[in-house]
Amino acid sequence: MTKTAIRSASYNQTLALAETFETLSHSQTEILNIVYRAAPLVSWTCPDTGAQKHWDLFDRTILRQLIFQIDVGQPEKPPIVSLTNAMLAADCDCTIRRIQQSLRKLESGGWLLRRYRADTNWRYARGMIEDPPGLDLRPLVQRLNELQILIDRDKVYRSEQKQAVLKPVSEIMIHDPMNRSDSHIKNQPKNISYDIDSNDKRPGDIMS
């Protein structure tokens, strides 16, 4: 018998989202690209502690390892990865405790579910069964469109900021210290000669 360990207050909402999964419509490369581009923009309030959370570099590393395990050759198969904490720790060159902390954090944000066997309480491969244990990435897959929206909004924002800085020259107002009108400036004679004393040297003049 397999059951899912309830570790976060957001579990029921995340599980409901996972159960809306029907088929995988993205390749591994597309998923990785979306996740890495959206990573700096992702933040949420942890329902268990009320603290503000975000994806750090280690979280992205774990997600990358998990995404590599998705069987994209069977798009109808739920993306539930059968890896133990020890396997992930070996892949990420860290302690099992560090893996546990990151997985708990990702689950609290509604990005994955940790599914365990009831008798052994650890994830392992069971083959094709209705409710396999492992790390359930269906929530992440179902939120790819949400991540893409974050990316698109950030792109628009950056574009607007760039346009605000690089205004066309025609929009820049030239200040006239004499406060003369345009008509006065236009009516000034175009060819004016000045008598300059050769002994009068101004700052910046080239000495011959």
Q: Render pLDDT for 93-144 as a digit per residue (tens, 0 to 9).
A: 999 999 999 999 999 999 999 987 655 444 444 444 456 778 999 999 999 9
- Counting every residue, how long is the chain? 208
> What is the rounded average pLDDT of the residues 82-97?
92
Q: How many CA atoms lie within 13 A of 176 on its CB side?
A: 8
Q: How many CB atoms lie within 10 A of CB 140?
A: 26
SS3 state of residue 76: coil
pLDDT digits (tens, 9 = 90+) for 64-82: 999 999 988 899 999 999 8
Nearest to 113, CA basis, from 96, 138, 92, 89: 138
Q: Is the pTM of this model over 0.85?
A: no
Name residue 4's beta-bridge partners. 115
Nearest to 121, CA basis, from 84, 150, 167: 84
Asked whether 79 and 137 are in contact (CB, 8 A), the reply is yes
**φ/ψ (deg, to 5) at 44:** -160, 165
